[in-house]
Amino acid sequence: MGKKLVLSIILTISLIFLAGCSLFSTSWTYTDLPQGYELKKINDTEMVIGKEVDGNLEIEVEGKTIGIEKYIAEFQTSDNYIGLKALESNEEGVSVLFYIIDAKNEDVYGPYDTESTYNAVVEKIVEEELGEWKKTIDINEKGELVPNKEETEETTKDE
C-alpha cells in the first residue's frame, strides 16, 4: 500500500477513536446553547455549530462568520459565550483547536493551537465564568446531554 493510503486509514481510525463515535451513530441537534446557537452532528466526522436564522442553522451571515464547521469534541458555555475544542485532521494526525464564540455579538475567536493560549484569551475577553467542559459524545440521538456513566460514578465517589 502507498504511504498516503496508510496515512489516510490511520487518520480515519484516529478521528473515530478520538471522537468516541460508533460507525452507526445518528445525527442530532443540541440546542441548549446561549443566544440561539445550536450544535449539529451531521455524521461521524462532521459537526457544525451555528445560529438558528430563519429556520436554518447558519455559520455565516452577510459575509460574517458566526459559527464553525469542525468536529467539536468538547464545549463549555455561559450565558453569552461558548468555548470549543475541535478536532482537525492533518498530515501529522489529528490536532485539537480551541475557539471562543461570543454568542451575543456573533463573533468567533480562534483557532488557538494550545489550551494555554485559549485560556489566556478567555481571561481577557470573556466576561463570564465558563462552565465545565462537556463532551459531545455524551449527547444522545435526541440531542440531550447525558453524562457518561464512568464520570457519574467518579463524581459520586468524590463526594
Residue 55 binned pLDDT confidence (cut-offs 50, 70, 90): confident
More confidently predicted of 148 and 118: 118
User: How much is the pLDDT for 68?
Assistant: 96
Cα distances (Å, whole numbers) of residue 15 to 28, 78, 102, 140, 156: 19, 28, 27, 19, 31
pTM, two decimal places: 0.77
Residue 26 binned pLDDT confidence (cut-offs 50, 70, 90): confident
Stretch 61-65: mean pLDDT, rounded? 94
Task: Return the biggest CA–CA distance within the chain.
Answer: 53
User: How much is the pLDDT for 15?
Assistant: 54
User: How much is the pLDDT for 87?
Assistant: 95
List strands edge to edge, sheet with 134-135.
107-112, 93-102, 81-90, 71-77, 134-135
Least-confidence region, from 32-41, 58-67, 144-153: 144-153
How do residues 94-103 score in pLDDT, each as one tens digit? 999 999 999 9
Residue 129 has pLDDT above 80, yes or no: yes
Separation CA 150–CA 157 (nearest Å): 11
In this structure, what C-alpha cell is assigned to residue 150? 464512568
* Bridge pairing between strands 71-77 and 81-90: antiparallel
| Structural domain harbouring 97 | 3-158
- The phi-psi region of residue 104 (left if phi > 0; otherwise alpha if psi is between -120 and 50; otherwise beta) is alpha
Query: Which amino acid belongs to residue 145?
Result: L
**Number of folded domains that form the chain:** 1
Mean pLDDT of the chain: 85
Separation CA 108–CA 125 (nearest Å): 12
